[in-house]
Chain A
Amino acid sequence: MVNQGSNILSYIIFIPFIGMIILTFIRRENVKFIRIYTLLVTIIDFIISVVLFIKFDPDIAGMQFVVKKEWIKSLGISYYLGVDGINLLLVMLTTFFGPIVILSTRNAINKEVKKFMIFYLMLQTGILGVFLSLDLILFYIFWEAMLVPMYFIIGVWGGPQRVYAAVKFFLFTMFGGVLMLIGILVLYFKAGLNSFDLVEIIKEIDLPLNYQMWLFLAFGIAFAIKVPLFPFHTWLPDAHVEAPTAGSVILAAVLLKMGTYGFLRFCLPLFPNASEQFFPFISVLALIGIIYGAMVSMVQPDLKKLVAYSSVSHLGFVMLGIFSFTQEGVQGSIIQMVNHGISTGALFLIVGMIYERRHTRLIKNFGGLASQIPVFSAFFMIVVLSSLGLPGTNGFVGEFLILLGTFLRNKAFAIFGAVGIILTAVYLLWMYQRVIFGKLKDEKNKLLKDLNLREVTILVPIVVLILWIGVYPLTFMTKTEKSVEYLLEVRKLKSERTFFVNEIDEYKIEILDEQVLSQKIND
């Protein structure tokens, strides 16, 4: 393990938290100051994570910048953080969106600004904690803790149906969370290491297949709800539509990735055989999600709902790639998580910008905006192209790798998945056409003002990333390479080992030595 003794991960997680505590002492009338202050906190957090990104050694497969301190010794719970190629980019994505989200709230969030900022900073700490925790209990705490601020962000600053949406969001996620907690506890007792240390459990324990299956389900349902995997997705459109722009952005850009990340970090290495068993099942659900999400997206009358359903489709790709268990597919999925964050986050920002001006999101109320607000239309175009995976933009790199990886494992799945690429073009271009092209008919649209400096400032870094990842993705992909390789190898080795355990169980051979086993594998 490298860079030990560095506390940089703790800083990244807790700078927003400390910022939040300080914020509670600031008078809530100082709205302007509060905005600038929060913006600064998120910018500092981003800068530190950039330092992390630069210092991160791509040649190391394991955890880096590890922080491990005993917390509740008797139960084996520790404060354990670490970063590798699998969560590094997600941490970057989270901190990158911090300042962008804060900037985007300038006009959108007007009531209770201070409270909103408090919740936002709390949320960022929670999300970063989820991505960086390597202790199961710590992970669970962050997982649940991040629910609360999100619940309030939707429920307080949301649209007319906000309470229904917030409760639905809370219940869906909570339901998954409870299952996961049971899973964690079963895993803990079954492993018998008196430790919630994820790395250690992965290293030491090979679970029998039937345990793997049940535990996979317990963890998997929690993650599948978050992703959301079809048919657990119905909370998503409601949550997105009712949430304020800032909430939608963070929800789409980062929160959903907690689900896909969970599958990668927990399900694959902990339950290698079960992952194998569930592979066709999950892939089919992902494929249904890709095509179903695209189709439903196509017929939405509401812009925000359209973008929300497009997430179901896009994250189907990510799931497909993860369960290809190939280097190409998994690396593609990781970069696609980032891509989806950038593109869909940007789409929500853009929808928010037009909503702030017109107070409607119905597609039929627009049309012909290109001549009225050309700068807006140009940014919108670039983001749409990125979202539909045009080569040269980020979306293509991810989708191509995912489909290629899937193809290596199952040709039919990849071919069905590729149909999704056609459908994505259909619903996005149709939407763009109805909003931007045509004649400017509605009188209210003739009063629209083009993007201001603040909004351009929000979108420019996003466009830069879209092109950067599209043209030179290696900057990011080299960082993920070794860890993915290692993860896939661990999964494979462990699944073979467990296979032997089961085989031998059948022949009633009860006493087995680890060494005999490993020898068997070497043979």
Chain B
Amino acid sequence: MTYLWLIPVFTLIGVVLNGLLGKKFGDKFVSWVGPGAVGLSFLISCIFLFKLVFDSPTGDSYIQKLFVWIAAGNLVVEAGLILDHLSVVMIMVVTGVGFVIHVYSVGYMHKDPGYARYFTYLNLFIFSMLILVMADSFLLMFVGWEGVGLCSYLLIGFWYEDKKNADAGKKAFIVNRIGDFGFLIGLFFIFIEFASLDFESVFSMASSRQIGDPVIVAITLLLFIGAVGKSAQIPLYVWLPDAMQGPTPVSALIHAATMVTAGVYMIVRCHVLYLLAPLTMSIVAVVGVVTAVYSASIGTVQNDIKRVLAYSTISQIGYMFLAVGVGAFTAGMFHLMTHAFFKGLLFLGAGSVIHSLSGEMDMRFMGGLKKYIPITFWTFLIAVLAITGIPGFSGFFSKDEILWNAFDKGNPILWVIGVFTAGLTAFYMFRLFYLTFLGESRFQSEKELHIHESPKIMTIPLIILGFFSLFGGYIGVSHSLGGENHFKKFMEPVFRNSEIIANSTSNAENSLGLEYLLMIISIIIVLIVLIIVHQIYLKRPDIASTLAKRFSLAYRVLLNKYYIDEIYHTFIVNPFIKISDIFWKIFDVKIVDGAVNGTANVIQSAGDKLRKVQTGYVQEYALSLILGAVIIIGYFIFR
């Protein structure tokens, strides 16, 4: 496999072409180069996927070392790419969904003055993401890791003229850097422990360690800090809702389908380490499930369509962490994939809605859009049914597997919170759907004239993602539902060395019957929520506001996102700036410079005083000479 570099290289070429020549050659050139580059990457990835499936029945991975990147002392880091059953899933998602969203962007970003810049960044994102996914060492993964952070920063603040957008971009970068700080320290620990940063050698050395080795626990926790930042989990999730300031296709691609799930991917990639650290695993699961329920609760009252989706993303990634935290890596990856389809679709659909309403994002001014934009409506409906976990849709299979694993391998409490979150998810998603597409139109009447379905270049991507949101789940239908679970089989080679540990936690007593029971409970909850939402938002719109008034404190806390941003600002950001200011104005200017200037002044004034002695009169000199002599002699006589 010496051609692995072909997968990312086209996107890099796209960056160079669009970055240097895009403006000169015009939008048509850009529209071909940008999506074309990703399309080529996707085609090549497909070829590699087939190669992997047919040429490697044992599930070996392919590694291509490109060149020695850094070497100093004991540290030797080679830039190498890896293709295995894990990375190929991510590659397919990134290039596949990425290509679809690139095409959609051609329509969405039409006539934007920064058209070439947009596709340059978007290609750069795909390139960085592929590096992250295909890296065969921690350090190269970190390159992609920070690279996608950069692209996220650039794209969130894409419309930089609005201060809010630029602020949001900066916030994303800095919060991510806090996570990366943990990741970096984690790398140092790995190096000091294993004298290598290469996945293969680190994992093979680590597998001989004891379970619960404190160093491994430290390493996995530190890496998890990185994941918390990148994948927007508590307490570093605050950047993701703000990231919605970016163009909507960017939200779909980066802040829903791919980049934010990188943390999940990283943990699955390092599952050898994580399985050795049960403490970390529990923390991952708890952080995941708490984030899931926490951000779902915020999502229930937000009015901005994209914000709801943002909190939903945080919540869904929480599910994925719950999965990997209880050791159900395959389930986590499965949900990552289906989520990429339906959440990508939800964002693109929301983009289509916003597009049709000339930029309106507040759901209070939508409603009844069903008849105006039918394609968006139907595809959006598929996505909603998928995310809420209606049987038969992709999200059902993946979410159900996570919940079952949480119960089976983890703890019933995790399951309870997970199911409760599923209820909340159903609530905010149906609420969003009803407010947007059904009921009465609440937009200003003059807007009505302009409402139109989006052009084909945007609706076809919707249909493609709709197809996968509907049928994507069938590759992973679990045995209990009579399926083959091809996805699990496909992923098996990745975990074959750690199978024993992974399965040991499974509770054998739990029967098939129990699994069905739990499944049915969660389905029933979702259906009840659907009925409630139907009542509130279609039949009796007044109930919502009555409820908000009745529970006004809770409502306000949720609406203001638990005031976390305000708390961070008051207790961290502002004091920090104040202290910095004091450092500069007091310490630097007053104390250090004061001391320096003070010394200079003392010397100067001393010189000034001494100068007066030099009067130039010989008599005075003679007088002082004599006086001096008298004093000295006197001293010697009378001492």
Contacts and interface: CB of A to CB of B under 8 A. Distances in A.
A362 interface: no
A421 B181 contact: yes
Given A392-B143, A437-B166, A472 B69 contact: yes
Contacts of B192: 407-408
A292 interface: yes
B160 A370 contact: yes
B73 A331 contact: yes
Residue in A171, A404, A419 whose Cβ sees the most chain B Cβ within 10 Å: A404
A296 B166 contact: no
Contacts, number: 131
Nearest to B589: A234
A397 interface: yes
* Majority secondary structure, B binding face: helix
A483 to B, nearest CB: 13
B71 A418 contact: no
B596 A403 contact: no
Contacts of A2: none
A391 B184 contact: no
Interface stretch (B298-306, B420-428, B543-551, B577-585): B577-585
Interface in B588-639: 588, 592-593, 596, 600
Given A392-B147, A426-B174, A433-B170, A371 B161 contact: yes
A88 interface: no
Interface residues of A, number: 56
A168 B576 CA distance: 30
Interface stretch (A31-39, A101-109, A186-194, A473-481): A473-481
Name which of A332, A401, A425 has the most chain B CB atoms within 10 A of its CB: A425
Contact of B170 (A390, A391, A430): A430
B632 to A, nearest CB: 32
Nearest to A408: B192
B184 A418 contact: yes
Contacts of A404: 75, 187-188, 191
B215 to A, nearest CB: 12
A368 B170 contact: no
Interface string B158-187: 001111001101100110011011001101
Nearest to A294: B580
A273 interface: no
A438 B579 contact: no
A401 B161 contact: no
A25 to B, nearest CB: 40
A292 B143 CA distance: 27
Nearest to A238: B593
Interface in A438-458: 438-440
Nearest to A298: B580
Contacts of B162: 439
Interface in A348-385: 368, 370-371, 385
A477 B71 contact: yes
A212 interface: no
B71 A433 contact: no
A331 B73 CA distance: 9
Interface residues of B, number: 51
A389 to B, nearest CB: 9
Interface in B136-170: 139, 142-143, 145-147, 150, 153, 157, 160-163, 166-167, 169-170
A418 B72 contact: no
Chain A's interface: helix, strand, loop or mixed, by majority? helix
Interface string A410-432: 01001100110110011001100
Interface in B274-315: none
A422 B146 contact: no
A246 B381 CA distance: 63
A477 B76 CA distance: 12
Interface string A460-500: 00000000000111100110010000000000000000000
A295 B585 CA distance: 12
Contacts of A414: 185, 188
Q: Which among A332, A396, A422 has the highest number of chain B CB atoms within 10 Å? A: A422
Interface of A: 168, 171, 231, 234, 237, 292, 295-296, 298-300, 326-328, 331-332, 368, 370-371, 385, 390-392, 396-397, 400-401, 403-405, 407-408, 411, 414-415, 418-419, 421-422, 425-426, 429-430, 433, 436-440, 471-474, 477-478, 481
27 contacts: A231-B592, A292-B583, A296-B580, A299-B581, A327-B74, A371-B113, A391-B145, A400-B70, A400-B139, A400-B184, A401-B70, A401-B75, A404-B188, A404-B191, A405-B73, A407-B192, A414-B185, A419-B181, A425-B174, A429-B173, A433-B157, A437-B157, A437-B163, A472-B67, A472-B69, A477-B71, A477-B72
Interface of B: 67-75, 113, 139, 142-143, 145-147, 150, 153, 157, 160-163, 166-167, 169-170, 173-174, 177-178, 180-181, 184-185, 187-188, 191-192, 576-577, 579-581, 583-584, 588, 592-593, 596, 600
Given A295-B580, A430-B170, 10 more contacts: A327-B73, A331-B73, A370-B160, A371-B161, A385-B150, A401-B75, A403-B188, A407-B188, A473-B69, A474-B68
